[in-house]
Each structure stands twice: as C-alpha cells, then as structure tokens.
Amino acid sequence: MMLEKTAIDNYTLVPKWDKLGYEIFAINFVKIKLNIATEESYKSVRERGMKWLMKQPNIIMAGASRGMGMDAFNISLHKSYADYDQWFRTFRGEWGDLVDDIQSVLINLRGEEIIKPLNFKYISEAT
C-alpha cells in the first residue's frame, strides 16, 4: 500500500487497440519556430497548446522533448490512415504559424510486427 501511495499517480488500462477499432499508433515529433522563444510568446503559445491538446481525445500523451532537432511530441491513435491524414492536415493548419516541421512514426496496430506490446507489467517484473 505504501508503494501505491508514493509511486503510483493513477491507474491506466492498456486495451487491445485493434479491438477498439484503432489501426495506427502514431508518435509525432514537432519542431517549434524560433520566434516563440521570448518569455511572453512562450507563455501564450503554451496556454494555447494545452487547451488544444486537452480537446484532442486521440492524443494520449504529449509534452516537450529533446533530440532529433525536435521540441515537442505527442502520441496519437487513429482508426485508419485516412483518419491519421485528416488529423495531420488539421494539426498543420491550426499550428502552421508556430511549427517548422512535423515528423511522424506510424505503427500498424493490426500488423504482425508488434514484438513487445505496450504493457506496464514489464516494469514490475524489473524490480
């Protein structure tokens, strides 16, 4: 019980994504334009970004990142490539004034190439 109080933020179940109709798991990397580096711009852009992200039910995680020349990331789920493509075009349209580049890695959730499925049990097995 002590571990639960000190180390567990919340509980999340990991569904069988394909059974819920999702075909694509996307890891999206974003490069932010340099002109938002001022403290004033950063605060307003961050607030805008947080509001937008909270309205995106298909984005399951997002935040700042370092590496590969990218500044932020999000992980999103999509029912099809067409669904992903529409989301990508909408994202680019809404954020084009602030984003220099978006790079995505797409994972086929219905394919046979998922070697180690997302599961938090691996962490408990490591202790």
Long-range contacts of the stretch 62-67 (C-beta < 8 A, 24+): 65/29
Q: What pLDDT is recorded for position 88? A: 94
Query: pLDDT digit of tens for each residue in the chain (127 aa)?
Result: 566 777 777 777 888 888 899 999 999 999 988 877 667 777 888 888 899 999 999 999 999 999 999 999 999 999 999 999 999 999 999 888 888 999 999 999 988 888 888 887 787 777 6
Could you tell me if 76 and 26 are in contact, meaning their C-beta atoms sit under 8 angstroms apart?
Answer: yes
Report the CATH architecture of 17-109. 2-Layer Sandwich (3.30)
Q: What pLDDT is recorded for position 63? A: 92
Helix (H) or strand (E) holding 31: strand 24-32
> Could you write out the DSSP letters of every residue in 59-75?
EEEEEE--STT--EEEE
Q: What pLDDT is recorded for position 42? A: 78
Query: pTM score > 0.85 for this model?
Result: no
Q: Which among 118, 25, 29, 31 is positioned nearest to 80, based on CA atoms?
A: 25
